[in-house]
Amino acid sequence: MGLVKSMTDEMTKEIGNKTREFYEFVLPPVDMHIDKDQLTIIVDMPGFEKKDIKLSLEDRILSIQACKQTPEESDRKIICNQRPNIVDKKLRLPVTLEEGNSLGPAKYEDGILTVMIPVQKNVQDIKIE
């Protein structure tokens, strides 16, 4: 009976690992909206620390990378771990960026990353005669 229990525990752990790997590929969910001259990107990233998150912008591609350190505790047996430990998300921005391709302010608070990016205004006012 010990062999069956051991195999069941290993199978459950492996299913949890595969589920976590799937979530690391698909997640995190992202919202984008544009207001006047700024694109705001909101990313759900609970469980990470601000120091573990890296942002970079190249051309119109925003890269979001994060890696969470998982503590190894010998007195606790992990049965299932489905939360992502790694985020590597690339977003193609749907707007023309201001000269200089620079990120605006970014903040990470309560598991939510908010990035503001200045965008080029493509609208011209037309004078009516």
Residues 77-119: tens digit of each pLDDT: 766 666 778 888 899 988 877 776 577 889 999 999 999 988 8
Computed over every residue of the chain, the mean pLDDT equals 80
Question: Domains in the chain, please, with CATH?
Answer: 2-70+79-118 (2.60.40.790)
Instruction: Please give the backbone phi and psi of residue 104, each rounded to the nearest 5 degrees, phi first.
Output: -85, -155
pTM metric for this prediction: 0.69
pLDDT at 126: 77
In the predicted model, is pLDDT for residue 120 greater than 90?
no
Tell me which residue of 117, 111, 65 sits closest to 89, measured CA to CA: 65
User: Any idea what DSSP says for residue 118?
Assistant: E
User: What is residue 60's predicted lDDT score, i.e. its pLDDT?
Assistant: 85
Q: Which two tokens stand for residue 27?
A: 């997640």
